[in-house]
């Protein structure tokens, strides 16, 4: 389903009401970056824009509220989601997009996996994953490197982006979601085939 101008304006109004100004700046940066990546790699620009706008729509919720919303929507959580709930907001945002705004399954799936990645990522999934990491307001130097890599080659750029994310998680001693490990392996296999 294509997002109508009315539903996009409703979504923007919801985001502006719910998110902090700093989070909104990030969302708009992800939107602009996703549009750029989509245009460069033949991905539907409207779907990329919608996914980018939606991706952090539940980020404002407290962690207990995110768990409650996952239960409400029947989202099946892995043990790792319960121990380190950083991906929950994407699962909820995907459900909000589907239920409240009638957003189609491909866009919702990109939103659902934008934090962890997943095996068999579509080009839309990869555009959002990379844009979230590399939008211009990101303060770390790897963001600019990832931007250049993604613009040159979407698959190689997303592998580079995932490597940067994994390195940061390991440096901080954080849990690595198994979906991310499977996503990395699948992307590497695709790049080498």
- The secondary structure of the chain as a DSSP string is -PPPHHHHHHHHHHHHHHS-HHHHHHHHHHHHHHHHHHHHHT--HHHHHHHHHHTTTTTTS-HHHHHHHHHHHTPPPPHHHHHSGGGHHHHHHHHHHHHHH---HHHHHHHHTTTT--TT--HHHHHHHHHHHH-TT--STHHHHHHHHHHH-HHHHHHHHHHHHHHHHHHTT----HHHHHHHHHHHHHHH-
Across the range 17-21, mean pLDDT stands at 96
Dump pLDDT digits (tens) for 163-175.
999 999 999 999 9
pLDDT tops 80 at residue 5: no
Q: Using 50, 70 and 90 to split pLDDT, how confident is the model at 1?
A: very low
User: CA torsion sign, 128 to 95 to 22 to 64?
Assistant: negative
pLDDT confidence bin for 110, thresholds 50/70/90: very high
- Reported as a pLDDT band with limits 50, 70 and 90, residue 8 is confident
- pLDDT (mean) for 181-187: 97
Per-residue pLDDT averaged across 50-76, rounded? 97
- Structural domain boundaries of the chain? 5-192
| 90: its two tokens | 């994407």
Q: Of 120, 119, 130, which is closest to residue 51 (Cα–Cα)?
A: 130
At 157 the pLDDT is 98
Q: How high is the pLDDT of residue 2?
A: 52
Q: What is the band of 96 on the pLDDT scale with cuts at 50, 70, 90?
A: very high
Burial of 116 (0-12, 13-18, 19+ CB in 10 A): buried
> In the CATH scheme, what architecture does the domain 5-192 have?
Orthogonal Bundle (1.10)
CA distance 30 to 52: 6
The Cα–Cα gap between 182 and 43 comes to 23
Whether the Cβ atoms of residue 58 and residue 69 lie closer than 8 Å to each other: yes
Task: For helices 45-54 and 21-41, give the axis angle rounded to 10 degrees.
Answer: 160
Nearest to 121 by CA among 176, 187, 41: 187
Residue 3: pLDDT over 80: no
Q: Check pLDDT > 70 for residue 6.
A: no
The arithmetic mean of pLDDT across residues 39-61, rounded, is 98
């Amino acid at each position: 389903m294509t997002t109508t101008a009315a539903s996009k304006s409703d979504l923007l109004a919801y985001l502006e009401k719910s998110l902090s100004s700093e989070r909104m700046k990030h969302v708009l940066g992800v939107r602009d970056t996703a549009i750029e990546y989509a245009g460069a790699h033949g991905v539907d620009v409207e779907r990329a824009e919608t996914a980018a706008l939606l991706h952090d729509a539940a980020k404002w919720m407290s962690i207990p509220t995110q768990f409650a919303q996952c239960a409400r929507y029947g989202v099946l959580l892995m043990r790792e989601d319960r121990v380190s709930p950083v991906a929950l907001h994407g699962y909820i945002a995907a459900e909000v997009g589907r239920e409240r705004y009638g957003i189609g399954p491909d866009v919702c799936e990109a939103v659902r996996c934008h934090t962890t990645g997943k095996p068999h990522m579509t080009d839309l999934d990869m555009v959002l994953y990379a844009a979230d990491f590399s939008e211009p307001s990101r303060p770390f130097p790897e963001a600019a490197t990832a931007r250049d890599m993604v613009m040159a080659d979407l698959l190689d750029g997303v592998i580079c982006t995932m490597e940067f994310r994994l390195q940061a998680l390991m440096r901080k001693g954080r849990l690595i979601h198994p979906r991310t490990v499977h996503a990395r392996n699948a992307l590497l296999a695709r790049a080498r085939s």
